[in-house]
Structure 1
């Protein structure tokens, strides 16, 4: 499936601002920056973000609404979860995790930042090629 055929939301531009936290090419189209930040994030096959944590003193976290393609979500020391259109992922503040496309599919989700106090994202180590390849084999 071509990126332009993925969903009703345009894929936007290359995600240059956060490129150092991704393996592969991603695209970002901010749908809302008021009230609740909502970004349409599109990943090419095998693209994934680094492990990261959404911190907040109160509230915070992130929600992912999968709109197209197939992808992965994994919390630290937990089994990975295969994602498909219609899936919803609730990520509480303080949970180390990553998400991205499967090896053979583009992937798109709406990333919603849950409002909170003193919210910030801590970017951690990349998801290695061997970690990623083992996900694909093990499911």
Structure 2
């Protein structure tokens, strides 16, 4: 058993090549500890979002605070709020992030396959993000 005290793992800015806007990540667990599960607490500033991406084994999001947006390619943008749990099936193109005027924090959980937990695609355009209607 290993207890990692709160605040012992530093917050880090999310990689700019996969996100738009100010996004912070805090590791919860990684495959080196769990063999397959990766989990992060992710905090999005208003307007911040992931790029389009997929997960080889799917992803679960648990929104812990704020109000955000999520979209699967070809479908309408949807609102997600604190307490919502979202399952994204394997291989589904999607993005998620904060609302235009609100921060959003979620726990992102996904398993790795051959060391890969996400396949990153192109940025979400401002026009596509704006489809949410603010």
Instruction: Please confirm whether the aligned pair reaches a TM-score higher than 0.5, indicating the same fold.
Output: yes
Pick the aligned partner of 2:114 from 111, 118, 123: 118
Q: CA RMSD in A?
A: 2.1
Instruction: Find runs of 4+ consecutive structure 1 residues off by over 4 angstroms.
Output: 8-11
List aligned pairs for 1:1-139, cutoff 5 A. 12-15=11-14, 18-33=15-30, 34-35=33-34, 36-55=37-56, 60-114=57-111, 117-118=113-114, 120=116, 121-137=118-134
Using structure 2 for the length normalisation, give the TM-score: 0.83
1:5-62 Cα shifts (integer Å, max 9, x gaps):
xxx99992222xx21111101000001123222100000000001101112xxxx111
**In the alignment, what sits opposite 1:5?**
none
**Structure 2: which 5+ runs fail to align?**
1-5
Using structure 1 for the length normalisation, give the TM-score: 0.80
Q: How many matched pairs?
A: 123
**Which has more helix, going by share of residues?**
1
Are the equivalent residues in 2 in contact too, given 1:102–1:136 (CA < 8 A)?
A: no
